[in-house]
Amino acid sequence: DGFSKKFGVSTVKQAESKLTQLTKAVDDDEQKLRTGERGLENRYSWQD
């Protein structure tokens, strides 16, 4: 029918890939934050 054609598989696939990109971006940000924190820790512990 027209509805499932309009909001069909492609839309779902696009939404899924957008979600994947978003979660990947969030993961990358968390990774950056963690390495940044580690860098700070290293810098301050190195001064002791």
Structural domain spans, the chain? 19-43
For residues 38 and 41, give the distance between their C-alpha atoms in angstroms, rounded to a whole number: 5
| pLDDT over 70 (residue 24) | yes
Q: What is the pTM of this model?
A: 0.53
Tell me, what's the pLDDT at 41?
A: 79
For residues 27 and 2, give the distance between their C-alpha atoms in angstroms, rounded to a whole number: 38
Mean pLDDT of the chain: 82
Tokens found for residue 6:
């309009």
Burial class, 25, CB count within 10 angstroms (exposed 0-12 / middle 13-18 / buried 19+): exposed
